[in-house]
Structure 1
Amino acid sequence: MDEQMGMLPQPDLAAIDVDTVLGALADPVRLSIVRELDRVGESTCSALDVPVNASTVSHHLHALREAGVVTTRIAGRTRPSRLRTDDLDARFPGLLNAILRAEPASK
């Protein structure tokens, strides 16, 4: 997918590596973004309900897209992102669901 097709570049399904996915999801802000995208379906960085500013969310969405966790489409001046749930389930069955449903560690 490319910008001519209305999507920002992302890795092909076969190129997504489990170590890269887990590394991206190890960051607590990225994990909260992924959980919020799971809840809302699709969102822009400024509309996500996470405890950081929109520019920080944008940075983390970029990292998640490069890891193959989210896909981002071009919609005029906005860049809504969504989880690549079906792709990740095909590549790593049950992984995303297990991560999303895991209880956070108590502090």
Structure 2
Amino acid sequence: MPAQREHKQPSPSGRSLEHPDRADIRLEGVLHALSDPMRLQIVRDLAAVEGELNCSVFDLPVSKSTTTHHFRVLRENGVVQQIYRGTAKMNALRRDDLEALFPGLIGSVLTAASLQATRLEAAS
């Protein structure tokens, strides 16, 4: 049986995106979403700010369609919340939901990613 989706009220632009309810977020889906370097970078960028970021602020070395795919994987696995504000698609980390379901996971992953980035920069 497919996971139930949380249905959002349409934004003022009339568009809405489906997100999994908190209860439907699965650990294996979150880990899958975080396993890709581009998606992990998106999560690191979102974690570094309070609030939302527009998709256009992310400078990823991939095509626009690939970037869209990465955001979709993160959204469908409950890692990020996306909402349209006018023509902009805004993104926020679902930190509260992730912390409630998997205490310490997102903090540990972000710490490990930061340490890895520092180690890799020092090696180059």
What amino acid is aligned across from residue 96 of structure 1 in structure 2? I
- State the alpha-carbon separation in 2 of the partners of residues 8 and 64 from structure 1: 13
- Deviation track 1:26-72 (CA, whole Å, cap 9, x = no partner) reads 01110011101111342122112333344322221111000000001
The answer to whether residue 57 in structure 2 is matched with residue 52 in structure 1 is no
- State the alpha-carbon separation in 2 of the partners of residues 45 and 62 from structure 1: 12
The answer to whether residue 112 in structure 2 is matched with residue 98 in structure 1 is no
What amino acid is aligned across from residue 55 of structure 1 in structure 2? S
Q: Of 76, 86, 91, which residue of structure 1 is paired with 2:86?
A: 76
Spell out structure 1 runs of 4+ moving beyond 4 A.
Answer: none
Larger relative contact order, structure 1 or 2 (CA cutoff 8 Å, min sep 6): 1
- State the alpha-carbon separation in 2 of the partners of residues 74 and 3 from structure 1: 11
- State the alpha-carbon separation in 2 of the partners of residues 34 and 57 from structure 1: 13
Task: List runs of 5+ in structure 1 lacking aligned partners.
Answer: none
What percentage of aligned pairs have identical amino acids? 45
Q: TM-score, normalised by structure 1?
A: 0.87
Match of residue 3 from structure 2 = none
- State the alpha-carbon separation in 2 of the partners of residues 39 and 90 from structure 1: 19
Note the 1:24-35 alignment, pairs <5 A.
24-35=33-44
How far 1:5 sits from its partner (Å)? 4.3
Rg larger in structure: 2
How many residue pairs get aligned? The number is 107
The structure where strand makes up a greater share of residues is 2
What is the root-mean-square deviation of aligned Cα atoms in Å?
Answer: 1.8
Task: List runs of 5+ in structure 2 lacking aligned partners.
Answer: 1-5
Note the 1:7-22 alignment, pairs <5 A.
7-22=16-31
- State the alpha-carbon separation in 2 of the partners of residues 80 and 99 from structure 1: 23
How far 1:3 sits from its partner (Å)? 4.5
